[in-house]
Structure 1
């Protein structure tokens, strides 16, 4: 068995036993490694120390459970491996800057660490061949557009280390950007009826930052006052499409795994370089949207 498979076995075990005490000694035994080498390999592959990863996954599950206002916060704490309401509150505030009570009263999207799937780091698929991994279906293909497609929306600039899916916790400011755009969307006559929505990450204007555009397909390249635009130029694109069981898992889990697979596995192993942007394209933010595409343009 490959080393990554041994680590994935323990990642799966952790996910199934978050409510219980999880001992590194037991995880190391599952992986057939000494505790020293297990912790070293885990940190290398998962990018987090074991105990920190466990804490962050417990917080992610607790945040999800807090959306059910009929459940006591104490019960949520105990169900997710925290021994008291107070310990959950302290950990939650350290991670997200608010208490569980504040979050429940004023819910916002949070940056949570997703459960990793090591298979995506080591499996190479051919074009147009689907890959199934941990409930996500991925496929890489090529698409060509014959004329530019225009999108209008809002743009923000954020520190790279706060990029969703990067392993840092906190409020998902990109979710707030999308909320701001959707407040304006119904009043924008320039938008294409039933057109796609587009989120684009590109290089920032200063070191250590990136820009993110959130918008929708437009009938014209003209940009209304107070909004910004993005153009998908004519040409050939590499497109990674993926599906998840619902919209929440699509944008809070699947999209990060698809990005990681495309940029860290598929493109490097095919020796392909792409232009410095990645566009996430999907039908809408409706709960019934379960499919998304990442569009990148190869450098000639």
Structure 2
């Protein structure tokens, strides 16, 4: 049986809350309030437990879910961008291309592209 790290239950709860709210802007102060810690401390706990900054995790989860929507729906790219809390299609496309190396349209048009998707955190 795997040993549970001291902060895993907190990080798991934060990750679940993030999953439940990927469709909107997630403000770190709001997330910190849920954790009961300061933003600075919550970020440190998250990074120490997962090896990843919480802001990066949120962004990568949103981009990953956007990939699923691009590949499995006919929704307009602007609608997908706005649904995941991006300010504009331009901002979404810039971040998407920076992370995946292709534009959202290229992702939609080429389903065989292998992209590095970020799975939800799981501590089972």
Shared fold (TM-score, shorter chain, > 0.5): yes
More helix by share: 2
> Once the 2 structures are TM-superposed, how far is the Cα of residue 68 of structure 1 from its aligned partner?
2.9
| Matching of residue 13 in structure 1 with residue 47 in structure 2 | no
Runs of 4+ in 1 over 6 A off after TM superposition: none
Match of 2:69 among 62, 65, 71: 65
Match of 2:119 among 96, 114, 117: 114
Task: Provide the rounded CA distance (Å) in 2 between the counterparts of 1:53 and 1:60.
Answer: 10
> Once the 2 structures are TM-superposed, how far is the Cα of residue 64 of structure 1 from its aligned partner?
0.5
Task: Provide the rounded CA distance (Å) in 2 between the counterparts of 1:69 and 1:17.
Answer: 20
SS of corresponding position for 1:67: helix
Instruction: Please list the CA deviations of residues 90-116 of structure 1 after superposition, one character each: whole Å capped at 9, or x if unmatched.
Output: 011101111011111112231111111
SS of corresponding position for 1:66: helix
SS of corresponding position for 1:112: coil
Equivalenced residue count is 118
User: Match for residue 52 of structure 2?
Assistant: 48
Which sections of structure 1, spanning at least 5 residues, go unmatched? Answer: 120-300
| Matching of residue 104 in structure 1 with residue 78 in structure 2 | no
Residues 259-298 of structure 1: pairs in structure 2 closer than 5 A: none
SS of corresponding position for 1:36: helix
Instruction: Please list the CA deviations of residues 233-279 of structure 1 after superposition, one character each: whole Å capped at 9, or x if unmatched.
Output: xxxxxxxxxxxxxxxxxxxxxxxxxxxxxxxxxxxxxxxxxxxxxxx
TM-score (norm 2): 0.87
User: Match for residue 129 of structure 1?
Assistant: none
Which sections of structure 2, spanning at least 5 residues, go unmatched? Answer: 1-5
SS of corresponding position for 2:72: coil
Which entry has the higher C-alpha Rg, 1 or 2? 1
Higher relative contact order structure (alpha carbons within 8 Å, sequence separation ≥ 6):
2
TM-score (norm 1): 0.38
Q: In 2, are the aligned partners of 1:77 and 1:84 still within 8 Å (CA)? A: yes
Q: CA RMSD in A?
A: 1.3
Match of 2:87 among 83, 101, 108: 83
Q: In 2, are the aligned partners of 1:31 and 1:38 still within 8 Å (CA)? A: yes
Match of 1:33 among 32, 37, 48: 37
Residues 1-300 of structure 1: pairs in structure 2 closer than 5 A: 2-107=6-111, 108-119=113-124
Q: 1:72 to 1:33 in 2, by over 3 A?
A: same
Task: Provide the rounded CA distance (Å) in 2 between the counterparts of 1:32 and 1:117.
Answer: 21
Task: Provide the rounded CA distance (Å) in 1 between the counterparts of 2:71 and 2:21.
Answer: 21
Task: Provide the rounded CA distance (Å) in 2 between the counterparts of 1:34 and 1:96.
Answer: 32
